[in-house]
Structure 1
């Protein structure tokens, strides 16, 4: 994955998206469904009906980039929202792409050694 600036906004389209859509179709969805400017530099994430495929749309000031990932086992964790959108941080997006439940990440803390 290309490193994104820390202040990059990440928008998820809750629900299922037709994965046959390409750059133009997803840009229209970002504008009309998510009510966001697709040229804003934000990352827009869409998930297919089966849950094992996601597409990311990003405008890098020169043009649109379209990334896709199909997970071999399991499904991508996806929120259900009344508004149809969800906002994530760049670190939550990284967890999502790794197949980690970004809503409740488990932190492993080792106890401090008594000295």
Structure 2
């Protein structure tokens, strides 16, 4: 995930993945997401083993809750992706901690 200039197409975005983030854009099943400065548009780049799929979503109202670490890569879960597309934050606000019992009941 990165904040980028969304005027770029497949070649420009795959070059950013390779050169800036030092990742391989040709890994099948990995969706690279890019968000514009206004956070109302998102592009996705996905290698499908026979070519790239370029996805684009523009919100008519509202903004994506995009993390403000614009130069960082974030690995998100499928659940976090759904949250992002619904306009929610990908960072859970409050998580119930897991407990390991010290002795059986």
| TM class by smaller structure | 0.7 to 0.9
CA distance in 1, matches of 2:58, 2:75: 21
Deviation at 1:81, TM superposition (A): 3.0
Which structure has the greater CA radius of gyration?
Answer: 2
- The 5 A counterparts of 1:15-94 are 16-41=3-28, 42-81=30-69, 84-94=72-82
| Larger RCO (CA under 8 A, 6+ residues apart) | 1
Give unpaired runs (5+ residues) of structure 2. 95-105
Q: Which runs of 4+ in 1 moved over 6 A?
A: none
Give unpaired runs (5+ residues) of structure 1. 1-11, 107-115
Deviation at 1:59, TM superposition (A): 0.3
Q: TM-score scaled to structure 2, two decimals?
A: 0.79
| Number of matched pairs | 94
Q: TM-score scaled to structure 1, two decimals?
A: 0.73
| Root mean square deviation of aligned Cα | 2.0
CA distance in 2, matches of 1:59, 1:40: 6
